[in-house]
Structure formats: structure tokens, C-alpha cells
Amino acid sequence: MARIVFDLDGTLIDSAPDIRQMANTILGGEGRAPITLEQTREFIGDGIGVFIEKMRKARNIPDTEQDRLKQAFINSYGDAVHLTIPYPGVADALERLIAAGHSLGVCTNKPIAPCRAVLRHLDLLDYFATVWGGDSLPTHKPDPAPLHAAFDALPDGPRIYVGDSEVDAETAARAEVPFVLFTEGYRKTTVEQMPYNVTISDYAGLDEAVATILTQSK
């Protein structure tokens, strides 16, 4: 059976509303205009530091405020769960994969504490035998080290990574593992511009995508 590792934000969950609320609370305290949900989704993917940098530049906040605003964001991240929802069919798909004998993990650039907090809040944490956040190792995606670590923590078997973004696609390519692209997440470019093995637009198609990759790898 396969080792299947998932990205989190934009792949398993739509967390942009919570992240936007955190960002706009911080921006309001700085006397700056809020960012939109579309901007929030554009800024997500490369970790907190990059998110804060993009948020600052969008609202003309000086570089000197980066560390202070990043820490403010981190301080409020653990409670950012109440507007986040799983994508339709996620829990059912995870249950089917486990019933079929696959082992599951998470590899995300979200810090590990809020990662676990939101998975626990949504009753998804117990599906995963291993969870790796953006601060679990000294490097984060698209460096392949966290993804390798997630796979290494699971029982032996073919490897599959499921994600939604350009960062995920690059991570999979650098790790040399097959990539399932969830097309309804936070990607910035068209599907045609991204490398992938299989695409899914909803989680009803995940079983077939996994089967296709396992057949291709034989």
C-alpha cells in the first residue's frame, strides 16, 4: 500500500478566511486597510515570513516591521480555526484511503502548532500517522527535506504527494515523487502551467487518482 502525504492549506482545508481575519486585525492595528480574501489566497503558500512580507508590501508597511508583525501573526495563529473548513469530501476520502491500507501524513508550511490545532478542531488529526509543519525542520517547502521526512515516518510503500500550489508541485518534483494536483486550492497559475501526474477537482476522485499513479509506477 502507498504512503500518501498531503499539503494542508488549500489542499485539505480552506483556511484563507481565518488567515485573512488575523491579517486584517494586525493591519487594523497599524492603521492600514484590510486585504481581500483573494489577496490572502495569493499570499499563502511559502510560510508565514513570505505571507507577512507580501501583506506589508500590499499596504506599504516598511521592511523594518517584518519581525514584529510576523511575531504578532504567530501569537494569534493557534486560535485561527473557527472560519476554516475542510474541502467537501475530505474526511470520507481519508477514511477510504485508510480502509484500503494506505498510510497518511501531512507536510505543510503552516507552523506545526497551528497545523495540529486546526486539524484537531476539524476532527482530522487522527487520520494522519505523521504531521510536519513549516517549522519542524530548519528548512521548509519547496525544499524537499520535510516531505522526505514525512514519507520516512510512514511504513514502506510507494510515495504520493497531494497538494494545490506551485510550491507543492516544485516540492514533489525536487523530492522525485508523483504529484496529485488539487485544482480548487490556492494556486496562482493555470493548471496547464503546472507539473503534475494526475489532477482532481474534488475528493471523490482521489481514490482513482491514487490507483492511476500506483498503476503507472509498476
Q: Which three cell numbers stand for residue 21?
A: 481575519
- The residue behind cell 500517522 is 129
Find out whether 105 and 153 touch, Cβ atoms under 8 Å: yes
- Active-site residue identified among 7, 18, 46, 168: 7
Report the DSSP beta bridge partners of residue 160.
4
Residue 7 annotated in active site: yes
**What gap in Å lies between CA 5 and CA 215, rounded to an integer?**
18
Cis peptide before 62 (omega within 30 of 0): no
Find out whether 171 and 144 touch, Cβ atoms under 8 Å: yes
**Other C-beta atoms lying within 10 Å of the C-beta of residue 177:** 20
Q: Which three cell numbers stand for residue 134?
A: 513549516
**Other C-beta atoms lying within 10 Å of the C-beta of residue 43:** 22
Q: Which three cell numbers stand for residue 67?
A: 519581525
What are the backbone angles phi and psi of residue 199, rounded to the nearest 5°? -115, 150
**What gap in Å lies between CA 2 and CA 23, rounded to an integer?**
38
Catalytically annotated residues: 7
